[in-house]
Structure 1
Amino acid sequence: MKKTIIKTARVSLLTALVLSNVSWNSISDVETNPPLLTIKGFTFKDYNRNGKLDLWEDTRLSVDQRIDAIIKEMTNAEKAALLIGTGMPGIEVLTGPVGDSKQGLVPGAAGGTEAFERFGIPATVVADGPAGLRIEPIRENDSKTYYATAFPVGTALASTWNKTLLEEVGKAMGNEVKEYGVDVLLAPALNIHRNPLNGRNFEYYSEDPLISGKTAAAIVNGIQSQGVGTSIKHFAVNNEETNRLTINAHVSERAIRELYLKGFEITVKESQPWTVMSSYNRLNGEYTSARKDLLTQVLREEWGFKGIVMTDWFGGFPGFESIQNGSSSDVVQQMIAGNDLLMPGIPVQKKALIEALESGKLSQEVANANSKRILEYIFRTPTFAKYKYSDKPNLVKNAEVTRNAAAEGMVLLKNEKIALPFADRQKEVSLFGVTSYAWITGGTGSGSVNNKHTVSLLEGLTTAGYKLDKELVDLYKPHAEKVLAADKERRKSKGILALPERLPEMKMEDAFIAKKAASSEIAFVTLGRNSGEGGDRVVDNDFDIAAEEIEMLDKVSKAFHEKGKKVVVILNIGGVIETASWKDKVDAILLAWQPGQEGGHSVADVVSGKINPSGKLTMTFPMKYADTPSAKNFPGIPADNPKEVTYEEGVYVGYRYFNTFNIKPSFEFGFGKSYTTFDYSAVKLSSQTFNNSLTVSVTVKNTGKVAGKEVVQVYLSAPSKSIDKPKEELKAFGKTKALKPGESETLKLTLSPKDLASFLENKSAWIAEAGNYKVLIGDSSENIRQTAEFFVANEIVVEKVKKAFALDTQFTELKP
């Protein structure tokens, strides 16, 4: 599948900083020593040095009163400066000269908000990203280092299905954010996996909104427990990187609400993130950053969101060319929509905003509401509280957190004849595949992390005491170094538009492989894939296995199987690849994902049996790309330079499509094997008739020989008289503790009225139909272990809403 698509913004904005050789000189913060005023025994800071106590300086007053006093005093120019970010050094590489871009207080951070000395308002700092904090690790004239922990990518974290563990990951991320002086982490990212070729799927969690929302909420709760903020992104319907600044997504209101907003709704209601980041794309003809129905009506009025909305970096600009031409985004419409903060902020936007305030085109009422929300955010930051950050987060403890999380997110896709675990340290292991030696920590772009060291598979297995074939290692290491260096040069020559590519495999003769099969007990073969911000993946040699990879698998499998020995494939990938054509050639497949900086140790923990894998897929692995419901509508039309994309598949995304239309996948949603076995019994419903809520309880018993954890998945099959519905939908899940052999645990999972409901556009309401509902309890979306039924006597109108997201073009949605 050749690709001649012109990419708009096919770039990591933060890569631009590296290439621009900016000087990391900090701007001065608010003066630390304003004069003091003493009144009736109380001492206050006189920020504006006027010799009297102004309302905003009076700390006896509520935050609300002080903020209102600041807004009342602010000039139009000050309001504009508050509502526009402070820029981003290095952006000139992309945009051409745009005026003064101030470097914030933390080098490598993505941006921040303005300081106002006379009000005692400091500049705050925001930084990427979803796999951990992204800042510059080395600073000018500074011998100290500022490395952060690279955590597993989003797909790996979500595959744990473990909310407690995810909260621990969030706490570790939050520790680094706070101790490095950052106020908000621009994460987590929870867009739906509409199509497996999306270049940023590695950052996102799932094709299912429940998993996406519960995963994000746990991570947000963890991060924000440390007293710093998050920015859930990209809101909304940002499901491709191709022409991401301009693409117009045509989507029905039902699909928007049931799939593309649902995860955000769960996250907002269960964790109240400090900020939400609006996305780049247009939705039904209008930029999301300018849609009042999205940012005010749904987000704030329906869901009760209390924080600020910021744009993605240059959101609302139709490409970098428009910035180079001196254009501004529609700042008035963005402000009216409820997009409080325009990031990273450039002078042309500030000028447009001041003019709009002066002329009355933007009302003071709107500007004041946006300003108030930003000030409320600033007042809760560590920077405002003058937190003395240490620049010494607990990197040792956090490395342990990421090692455990990566292991728990690994999915055992196949394990014939107990090929795994392989714990024998005396017998030799042959380690094939260039990625075994050029291990992938995570994807590229703003979702990458500047960590100090990545543990490769080679290092992980060696440290765990495995005896690796030395001749193979000595051959592969220089090959891996050579192809990595070549890839680095290729990306350098192509500039910041370059995306990662698959590394070429090493050619090996049959006789050489036969020799390895004779001397080694087992073969581990790693297949690797990487992708990144700013571009989507392709089918040939990326989603599909390359001819040279098939050749390697064929040769290794033939040689080792002839000697009665096993072959294990380890997948070091960020998103879905084709597996159907080759999975029968090998004995075991471990999906290791891109498991962060400790990944090599995590794989060794799992293959040795030290940790029993308990990850489950949060997306479908199709037999072939063409089976994907959105395949014919991705990335859009015209094919060579897409301007629009139509979501004709409606709500039938992922397993909702495969199960409803009886399309057999290679590995289904929710699938994942274990080194032990589990029995499901004693399914009970709290009632046979639904009334406000219903509890499902199930007992899980470990019937195997080793300890392990099981993920229990509750799907619901609802009556579909008033509207077509997927065959079943995930409505609840839970994970057992580590159960010893013979040990049982009873899980209780609750269904709410909204879990029963579908969105009916003709009624602008979430409605649960009357009739029989089937509860399906499984260890995957296909393998249902127990069922039960309950009855809804009368139709339930769960929630009435205002109409939103009117279509800008008519199209026919897929129906069963």
Structure 2
Amino acid sequence: MKRHLPFVLGCAALALGSGARAQQAPAVDLAAAQARADATLAKMSADDKVILTHGIMPLPFLPGAKIPSGAIFGAGYVAGIPRLGVPALTETDASLGVAWVGGLRKDGATALPSGLAQAASWNPDLLYRGGAMIGAEARAKGFNVLLAGGVNLMRDPRNGRTFEYLAEDPLLSGDLVGAAIAGIQSNHIISTIKHFALNGQETGRKYVDVKIAEGAARESDLLAFQIGIEKGQPGAVMCAYNRIGGAQACASDWALNKVLKGSWGYKGFVMSDWGAVPGVEAALGGLDQQSGAELDKALYFADVLKAKAGADKAYAARLDDMNRRVLTAIYATGIDKHPAQPGGAIDFAAHAQVAEDVARQGIVLLKNNGALPLAKTAASIAVIGGYADSGVLAGSGSSLVMGEGGPAATRSLGGDGPFAALMQQSYHRSSPLKAIQALAPKATITFRDGRYIADAVAKARQAQVAIVFATEWRTEGADQPDLSLPDGQDALIAAVAAANPNTIVVLETGGPVMMPWLDKVAGVVEAWYPGARGGEAIASVLFGDTNPGGRLPVTFPASLDHLPRPKLDGADWVEPNFGGDPAPGKDQLHADYDIEGSDVGYRWFARKGYKPLFPFGFGLSYTSFAARDLKVSGMSASFTLANTGQRAGDDVGQVYLVRRNGQPLQRLVGFKRMSLAAGASQSATVTFDPRLLADWKDGRWTMPAGDYGFALGRNAADLGQVVTVKLPARSWKD
């Protein structure tokens, strides 16, 4: 059986995926990296050994902040050891680009669309390009560690960080994050993968205790991480805030030692999330580096750890291993031989095009009664709401990225704490209104901000077409109370649609939302948070210059009652808090993931027979497609997609396991995005990862012998004829 390599930097080179991505990745000799790490470790004094094990958050607004020479305003700084040639680690958030940190550096960076927008492309090559782009900008700004690679599955659509992550499926999430990480590390910098693991909500995030059986975790959230590590080979893993089975994730012997480093053989290092370290004992639990130590109750991984190592052989051995892992990642990615220097050149125009390409491929057409694409000869268009005259919405928190000049518009949420600058609604400088005007220069185009429904309705009645931009802002540190559109936007859309039957809704959301007005509008476009060139990408889709080919990476539920937990755990008593500290006397918060187990998202809906508002994998086009000729042989399948319409477009072939020995189940086992000219067809072959056909039982993956049924789907709820094959029994360890 073909085995996937964990972070062993295997043999002569990193296994960074397939095709063009692998050819662009720097070759790494693991043996040489480990030998160098051991040689450096042998020269380290007791004081040296606690330099790489902790870092600070070099931001001047933190109380008592002292910024070392060589540090850059950003997420983190870990001092180097100059006499041994070990570079300092300069760290920045995040998966969507080089983070803004309130504009402290007086610079800008290119913002990729949100993680969900990237995942909606179903295109690993595109995520590699995006990763390579943000990695290049990080280098040019002097950073050598990018805190990217967010891959937590969407177990609850109300999660405030859903926009940062990718999908609800382990295969799609793992393949895509692996490609993004490989792109980042092609720049000779370290990428993380995060937040390990089972970090499914922001409510009480520092103390919510996740309950889940090991088999269910291995088959879902952990599998996404495992696939991402195998394909992307990240130099570091960032552990999460939450608890797992009573232990903090950053001190979880089971998650860090038994699974990550033991079962998977991971050789990189584990850094904590900022303020996630419970004590020095986390070192024995598998944590290698305390990040942003001033956000913890104490600095544990310096003098305290040194004293422990001097008195206890277990801590001494652990300390050597901690340093060995950090050094191996440094040497494997080459950040010592290819130092990042501030002031590097950045081709912002080329990078903006990458961001726009991602946005175009990730936009999903959810409804179209024939009103789209719009004619560029339209006489009059009313554009309403969503700050569309200024820009496009961005998600907030540590991942917020802003271009040169900062946001086009901001909406303060108030407050005066040290993180207030991160907790505001911000818009990228890419105006959909201006982009629409550019593509329909002869049209009479009016704009109303939507604050007054009567004003918006009056303009909608006067226009041939009304386009309502609806926004749903999300941020790290707080979950959504429900899935409605805030600020009365649902009522606005309903009123505009009643006034103009040709009403198009463009959604800029951080996750799934309800649509009580759906049957009243002519079209719905999900644009997510579309990044630095989002306005141009949206207009391109509206007018048909881009044929939408995005497919949903998450399920849009029809009702909160259809979720495994209709009531978000702790939402009735935990106050939104960026720091996430427990309320006095209320630190006992539990999330029972055993309810759905490994049946996350569409798997849960299939199991319960619930009909979603829009299913996983759904997306419309301005052309038509046929999916046919599914053939399964052993552990691979082939199929053909045909463009049966009148214009070129993209489609995604989706292969699902739907039955095993007569028992229904549903798992995505293969996918392929294809670009097809009108009338053209193309075949593809996908290989099944055996773990997607298996169960985790008694410390092993187990595939029972018998009949396995597969179907080629338009989406998770629209499946073709089942093809059944017999497969032999298999059992193996990671």
Q: TM-score, normalised by structure 1?
A: 0.77
**1:381 deviation in Å?**
4.2
Aligned length: 664
Which one of the candidate residues 86, 89, 98 is aligned to 1:124? 89
Which one of the candidate residues 61, 70, 73 is aligned to 1:108? 73
**1:638 deviation in Å?**
6.7
Which one of the candidate residues 239, 263, 284 is aligned to 1:336? 284
| Alignment partner of 1:575 is 2:526 | no
Aligned partners of 1:107 and 1:139 also within 8 Å: no
Q: Which residue number in structure 1 is paired with residue 520 of structure 2?
A: 585
- Distance in 1 of aligned mates of 2:54 and 2:672: 42
SS of corresponding position for 1:748: strand
SS of corresponding position for 1:706: coil
**1:426 deviation in Å?**
4.6
Q: Which residue number in structure 2 is paired with residue 630 of structure 1?
A: 565
* Residues 634-693 of structure 1: per-residue CA shift (max 9 Å, x gap): 34797775622222222232111111111111111110001011112222223xxx4xxx
- Distance in 2 of aligned mates of 1:394 and 1:106: 24
| Alignment partner of 1:671 is 2:618 | yes
**1:359 deviation in Å?**
2.3
Q: Which residue number in structure 1 is paired with residue 422 of structure 2?
A: none
**1:185 deviation in Å?**
0.8
Between stretches 299-308 and 529-538, larger displacement belongs to 299-308
Q: 1:459 and 1:754, CA in 2 relative to 1: closer, same or farther beyond 3 A?
A: same
* Residues 450-508 of structure 1: per-residue CA shift (max 9 Å, x gap): 312520211221233355655x42x53xxxxxxxxxxxxxxxxxxxxxxxxxxxx4214
Among the aligned pairs, what percent are the same residue?
31
* Residues 506-565 of structure 1: per-residue CA shift (max 9 Å, x gap): 21438x7356424x22110111011101111112xxx1245832332232222223xxxx
- Distance in 2 of aligned mates of 1:101 and 1:731: 50
- Name the one with the larger helix percent: 1
Aligned partner of 1:344: which letter? Answer: G
* Residues 397-443 of structure 1: per-residue CA shift (max 9 Å, x gap): 01001011101101100001x21100324511111124423544321
| Alignment partner of 1:755 is 2:692 | yes
* Residues 131-155 of structure 1: per-residue CA shift (max 9 Å, x gap): 1011569678xxxx63110110000
Q: Which residue number in structure 2 is paired with residue 72 of structure 1?
A: 42
Q: Which residue number in structure 1 is paired with residue 360 of structure 2?
A: 407
SS of corresponding position for 1:314: coil
Aligned partners of 2:392 and 2:432 also within 8 Å: no
Written as runs of structure 1 = structure 2, the 5 A alignment for 1:264-279 is 264-279=225-240
Q: 1:135 and 1:636, CA in 2 relative to 1: closer, same or farther beyond 3 A?
A: closer
**1:335 deviation in Å?**
1.7
Q: 1:638 and 1:764, CA in 2 relative to 1: closer, same or farther beyond 3 A?
A: farther
* Residues 592-619 of structure 1: per-residue CA shift (max 9 Å, x gap): 1100011000001111100100001111
Q: 1:171 and 1:624, CA in 2 relative to 1: closer, same or farther beyond 3 A?
A: same
Q: 1:367 and 1:429, CA in 2 relative to 1: closer, same or farther beyond 3 A?
A: same
**1:742 deviation in Å?**
0.8
Q: 1:778 and 1:223, CA in 2 relative to 1: closer, same or farther beyond 3 A?
A: same
Aligned partner of 2:496: which letter? Answer: V
- Distance in 2 of aligned mates of 1:195 and 1:168: 29
SS of corresponding position for 2:267: coil
Written as runs of structure 1 = structure 2, the 5 A alignment for 1:197-276 is 197-276=158-237
Q: 1:513 and 1:638, CA in 2 relative to 1: closer, same or farther beyond 3 A?
A: closer
Aligned partners of 2:141 and 2:340 also within 8 Å: no
SS of corresponding position for 2:499: helix
Q: Which stretches in structure 1 are left out of the alignment for 5+ residues?
A: 1-60, 317-328, 477-504, 802-816
- Distance in 2 of aligned mates of 1:237 and 1:224: 25
Q: Which residue number in structure 2 is paired with residue 790 of structure 1?
A: 725
Aligned partner of 1:241: which letter? Answer: E
Q: 1:70 and 1:167, CA in 2 relative to 1: closer, same or farther beyond 3 A?
A: closer
Aligned partners of 2:59 and 2:74 also within 8 Å: no
* Residues 366-389 of structure 1: per-residue CA shift (max 9 Å, x gap): 111111111223334435534556
- Distance in 2 of aligned mates of 1:527 and 1:466: 24
- Distance in 1 of aligned mates of 2:678 and 2:258: 52
Q: Which residue number in structure 1 is paired with residue 473 of structure 2?
A: 530
**1:296 deviation in Å?**
2.6
Aligned partners of 2:219 and 2:692 also within 8 Å: no
* Residues 108-159 of structure 1: per-residue CA shift (max 9 Å, x gap): 221122122322222121110111011569678xxxx631101100000000
SS of corresponding position for 2:55: coil
Aligned partner of 2:206: which letter? Answer: L
Which one of the candidate residues 640, 658, 674 is aligned to 1:717? 658
Q: Which residue number in structure 1 is paired with residue 680 of structure 2?
A: 743
Q: 1:67 and 1:663, CA in 2 relative to 1: closer, same or farther beyond 3 A?
A: closer
SS of corresponding position for 2:200: coil
Aligned partners of 1:636 and 1:645 also within 8 Å: no
SS of corresponding position for 1:363: helix
Q: 1:69 and 1:168, CA in 2 relative to 1: closer, same or farther beyond 3 A?
A: closer
- Distance in 2 of aligned mates of 1:455 and 1:229: 30
SS of corresponding position for 1:340: coil
- Distance in 1 of aligned mates of 2:226 and 2:541: 35
Which one of the candidate residues 623, 632, 642 is aligned to 1:701? 642
- Distance in 1 of aligned mates of 2:484 and 2:145: 38
**1:764 deviation in Å?**
2.5
Q: Which residue number in structure 2 is paired with residue 3 of structure 1?
A: none
Q: Which stretches in structure 2 are left out of the alignment for 5+ residues?
A: 1-30, 405-427, 576-585
- Distance in 1 of aligned mates of 2:542 and 2:345: 33
| Alignment partner of 1:460 is 2:435 | yes
Q: Which residue number in structure 2 is paired with residue 496 of structure 1?
A: none
Aligned partner of 1:697: which letter? Answer: S
Between stretches 594-603 and 67-76, larger displacement belongs to 67-76
Q: Which residue number in structure 1 is paired with residue 371 of structure 2?
A: 419
Q: Which residue number in structure 2 is paired with residue 134 of structure 1?
A: 99
- Distance in 1 of aligned mates of 2:326 and 2:61: 24
Which one of the candidate residues 378, 395, 398 is aligned to 2:330? 378
Aligned partner of 2:492: which letter? Answer: M
Which one of the candidate residues 399, 403, 407 is aligned to 1:451? 403
Which one of the candidate residues 420, 430, 433 is aligned to 2:382? 430
- Distance in 2 of aligned mates of 1:348 and 1:622: 44
- Distance in 2 of aligned mates of 1:66 and 1:545: 54
Which one of the candidate residues 609, 612, 617 is aligned to 2:547? 612
SS of corresponding position for 1:509: helix
- Distance in 2 of aligned mates of 1:303 and 1:784: 34
- Distance in 2 of aligned mates of 1:242 and 1:433: 29
Q: Which residue number in structure 2 is paired with residue 34 of structure 1?
A: none
Note the aligned Cα RMSD (angstroms): 2.4
Aligned partners of 1:308 and 1:374 also within 8 Å: yes
Aligned partners of 2:377 and 2:443 also within 8 Å: no
Q: Which residue number in structure 1 is paired with residue 55 of structure 2?
A: 85
Aligned partners of 2:158 and 2:481 also within 8 Å: yes
- Distance in 1 of aligned mates of 2:458 and 2:32: 77
Q: Which residue number in structure 2 is paired with residue 517 of structure 1?
A: 461
Q: Which residue number in structure 2 is paired with residue 187 of structure 1?
A: 148
Q: 1:343 and 1:731, CA in 2 relative to 1: closer, same or farther beyond 3 A?
A: same
Q: 1:515 and 1:113, CA in 2 relative to 1: closer, same or farther beyond 3 A?
A: closer
**1:726 deviation in Å?**
6.2
SS of corresponding position for 1:666: coil
Aligned partner of 1:455: which letter? Answer: S
Q: 1:251 and 1:137, CA in 2 relative to 1: closer, same or farther beyond 3 A?
A: closer
Q: 1:284 and 1:256, CA in 2 relative to 1: closer, same or farther beyond 3 A?
A: same
Which one of the candidate residues 772, 796, 800 is aligned to 2:733? 800
- Distance in 1 of aligned mates of 2:377 and 2:320: 67
SS of corresponding position for 2:383: strand
SS of corresponding position for 1:697: strand
- Distance in 2 of aligned mates of 1:594 and 1:514: 28
Q: 1:632 and 1:769, CA in 2 relative to 1: closer, same or farther beyond 3 A?
A: farther
Q: 1:156 and 1:467, CA in 2 relative to 1: closer, same or farther beyond 3 A?
A: farther
Aligned partners of 2:627 and 2:714 also within 8 Å: no
Q: 1:646 and 1:637, CA in 2 relative to 1: closer, same or farther beyond 3 A?
A: farther
SS of corresponding position for 1:243: coil
